[in-house]
A and B are shown apart, each in its own frame.
Chain A
Amino acid sequence: MRGLRTTAFLALTTATLHPSVDAQIAVRAETLYTMAGDPISDGVVLVDAEGKITAVGPAATVDIPGGVRVLSAAVVTPGLIDSRSVVGLAGYLNQDGDSDQLDRSEPMQPELRALDAFDVREPLVDWIRSFGVTTVQTGHAPGALIPGQMMVVKTTGNTVEDAALIENSGIAVTLGDGANAPSGAPGTRAKATAMLRSLLLEAKRRLEKAADDEADLAPNLRLDAMVEVLRGERPLIVHAQRSRDLLTALRLREEFGFRLVLDGAAEAHLCLEEIAAARVPVIVHPPMARHRGQLENATFELASILDQREIPVAFQSGYEPYVPKTRVVLFEAGMAAAHGLGFDRTLEALTIDAARMLGLDERIGSLEVGKDGDFACYDGDPFEYTSHCTATVIEGVVVFEGSR
């Protein structure tokens, strides 16, 4: 998949010259949601041997080469994107041996790579894939001030390198109760923020120094991870539920100028103006995450409320410490669809909007020529409780088939 990444642009330019010559699979849907234009009735998508889409359109206009497997479904959408998870680091057994989502030995460890912890064979990865999820931003769990890095993977592959789309997609930060450390520092919101500001100041000095004389600087994994954030190479993904913590995140962004993505944001409806003014995207907490503790003021309508203020929204499975060990982003998004956001906007937030938020919209999130052949197939409205995912396809390869 790494190789494919570098040739993505090439595929885009050559695809139209040889339409469907080496087609690997055709996907045909009674209703095809391409997320690039209106849904197509009786639509067909062709995917070539490289896993790229070579043709999209009504069945009458797309020539399916003989001998190519045709996968049919009532509804086909782009593969779903789970914008914040811990699957693959957190295992389904929830025992010491399969729980690598959080190390609390130090409060700030931006150097911890998700890459070194993601288990491609974790059953929870298979589980979410069987509901149509093809791309996940996964990584370190909330529970330390800086628990570590996030990465973006496809839900397939034999090695983490196979799966990785972005090896370091952002540094996770926790604000609020979850930032408090077993050692006692930080033990308050003010202290956590002071510690975070200190680290960012240190990184800022290092960045300025690097501009003068880079050769003099000894490598420093921790600071360099933050320097990259200050350079704008990746965002801080700040997990905050309380409105005061969300406002702290906005204040820090103002001070240091980093890219900010809000994660959780249960009380965003209590500081809507501020978030809207800052125009930062929000990966909303799973609507079905328990409305307790810091989520006591959570509302099923959050995504809808944010969307009405034109705040970019994406969905997540989040982190669960107990049962269910992971939520399923399809179900969570469905809840938002039913609580004000509506079908169309919800599907956008689950696909193309999420791809944009991850900076991957050239490659995933919609069904267009040159993009990855990632599909989710359903036997009805994907958000309905009683519909089933009938197949999941990643880069032209059927990775799940059945009725779940």
Chain B
Amino acid sequence: MRDARSARCALDGPFPPSRTLSLLRSALTTLLVGLWLSITANAQESQQPKAPIRALVGARIEPVVGDPIQNGVVLVENGLILAVGDASNTAIPEGAVVVDLSGKVLMPGLVCTHSHVGGPQGADSSHPIQPECRVLDSIDVRDAGIAKARAGGLTTVNVMSGSGHLLSGQTLYVKLRKGDTVDDLALRLPDGSYAGGIKMANGTNPQRNPPFPGTRAKSAALIRALFLKAKRYYDRKLAAENDESIEAPEIDLALEPLCDVLSGKRPVHHHTHRHDDILTVLRIADEFGYRVVLHHVSEAWKVADEIADADVACSVILLDSPGGKIEAKDLRMENATLLAERGVLTAFHTDDGITDSRYFLRMAAFGIRAGLSRQQALESLTIAGAEILELEDRIGSIEVGKDADFCVLSGDPFSIYTKVEQTWIDGTVVFDRSLPEDRLAAEGGLGASDGQAWYLCCAQKQEGGN
């Protein structure tokens, strides 16, 4: 069981979390709205009554942080959790809209630390290292894969570019709101910049013909050379900030995001499978002192102690069988179990389209099948992912003050017979299985995948069949 965490970095600053405008845009809006408000303050009051508090009642609540509540109440106001507690001691305010969830299970919206929904693109084939590429510039918020992810109960996702490069670009943390633009979905850091990390990979996926590396040693050498260069650039930037006599380097789009890595502002999300590749990632991260999250870690069971000693987080995938590529030949269902047992911060990811977001719950259930505790399984879908994305003050559990992101389940989260009935983001229902179009997204059928982009890195050479 985790302790409730104190607020540390409130994203989107002082604004309600449903607001995803940049700080700049927000500031401008505030200025204009302020001006307008001063003129029409009284009219405004009567035209836009404050949204009523909603009371979600009757469900068994799995808050993830804190004990389960058999007959719970959650109060939601302005997209945030106002109160959570047992029906016997949680008063429902007068005028609150009651949402009856009797017989259901209410848990935090699921957090996926590694996904390719929305047709993200990063680097092209011209070079193995392209930190200047942002998935932000490629995501289609109307992609059917996003609707399917909502149908799986997902609310927050780290959308990443592929693993066919040593460094394929900048990832983006999004909430799967029903927005018109990527900005409606994007999460932001307190300084207004887009929240996300850097996607890197080692092992066989990025190994190709020059200028791509042909060996593991070459891969490591290219990355070390990159960070040596980035460090020089970053040091010069810092020096120039502190000393007016020093000239700041010319802005370098590729090196700027790496400064964020070196400063600790952003993590590296690192695709890695084989035990020795995992250790190479740790060695280089240690050399340059940056924060890294290990992704996939098919052979984590071979180096679980070393991973624990390095105090890094892992984002794990479980697959229905080992193999399919050499590096996944020793993949084990017990990976998450062994990591969690050693105190490693461990979350699961869909790697959508490798696995389908609609049955993300299944992966944690398979973790239980391989020895993970029920509590660890719940955390690995929610708060652990939130911590990996450094969003744990805002999402990942049902606690007062956090975003009202939920999934409503028909039964036990880890039963195959359970259905996701609703998904809530910021207090808004974004998936409702009782609606025909949402049911289509959940079950499939004619048109369910219209406009869905697919990403299956490095599977192309083995395609065939179907």
Contact = CB atoms under 8 A, between A and B. Distances in A.
A186 to B, nearest CB: 15
A269 to B, nearest CB: 7
A46 interface: no
Nearest to B298: A323
A124 B369 contact: no
A288 B362 CA distance: 12
B349 to A, nearest CB: 14
Interface string B429-466: 00000000000000111111110101010110011111
Contact of B325 (A323, A338, A385): A323
A143 B466 CA distance: 7
A273 to B, nearest CB: 15
B353 interface: yes
A143 B465 contact: yes
B447 A297 contact: yes
Given A92-B329, A95-B326, A290-B356, A127 B464 contact: no
Nearest to A295: B466
A272 B394 CA distance: 48
A25 to B, nearest CB: 26
B329 to A, nearest CB: 6
B326 A321 contact: no
Nearest to B296: A323
A296 B452 contact: yes
Nearest to A99: B462
A326 interface: yes
B415 A384 contact: yes
Contacts of B362: 385
A331 B320 contact: yes
Contacts of A321: 459, 462-465
A327 B356 contact: no
Contact of A92 (B324, B444, B456): B324
A70 B322 CA distance: 32
Contact of A320 (B324, B365, B454): B324
A338 B353 CA distance: 22
A291 interface: yes
A319 B452 contact: no
Nearest to B374: A386
Given A290-B353, A324-B324, A264 B448 contact: no
Contacts of B464: 102, 141-143, 178, 321
Interface stretch (A48-56, A158-166, A298-306, A355-363): A298-306
A288 B462 CA distance: 19
B444 A298 contact: yes
Given A143-B465, A322-B324, A385-B414, A93 B444 contact: no
A296 B320 contact: no
A311 interface: no
A177 interface: yes
A385 B445 contact: no
Interface in A362-404: 383-388, 404
Given A290-B356, A299-B443, A385-B368, A93 B459 contact: no
Given A288-B359, A296-B452, A386-B368, A339 B443 contact: yes
Given A301-B443, A386-B414, A388-B369, A294 B466 contact: yes
A95 B204 CA distance: 13
A289 B452 CA distance: 15
A124 to B, nearest CB: 6
B321 A326 contact: yes
A295 B454 CA distance: 12
B290 interface: no
Nearest to A264: B466
A345 interface: no
B466 A293 contact: yes
B365 to A, nearest CB: 3
B466 A385 contact: no
A241 interface: yes
A94 B327 CA distance: 11
Nearest to A321: B462
Contacts of B356: 288, 290-291
B444 A323 contact: no
B436 to A, nearest CB: 14
B279 interface: no
A296 B449 CA distance: 5
A337 interface: yes
Tell me which of B323, B369, B417 has the highest count of chain A C-beta atoms within 10 A of its own C-beta.
B323
Contacts of B458: 322
Nearest to B462: A321
Contacts of B329: 92-93
Given A93-B329, A335-B416, A292 B454 contact: yes
A297 B466 CA distance: 13
B140 to A, nearest CB: 15
B466 A92 contact: no
Contacts of A95: 326
Given A270-B446, A288-B356, A338-B416, A323 B319 contact: yes
B328 interface: yes
B207 to A, nearest CB: 15
B325 A300 contact: no
B444 A142 contact: no
A288 B319 CA distance: 12
Contact of A93 (B319, B323, B368, B452): B323
Given A143-B464, A269-B445, A291-B449, A325 B323 contact: yes
A32 interface: no
B448 A299 contact: yes
A119 to B, nearest CB: 13
A299 B368 CA distance: 27
Nearest to A128: B321
A89 interface: no
B203 to A, nearest CB: 13
Going nearest first, the 6 A-B pairs with the smallest beta carbon separation are: A92-B323, A323-B324, A385-B365, A322-B459, A299-B444, A325-B324
14 contacts: A124-B321, A142-B466, A269-B445, A288-B320, A301-B443, A301-B444, A321-B463, A322-B325, A323-B325, A323-B459, A327-B320, A385-B365, A386-B368, A404-B333
Given A322-B325, A337-B416, 4 more contacts: A291-B448, A326-B320, A384-B417, A385-B369
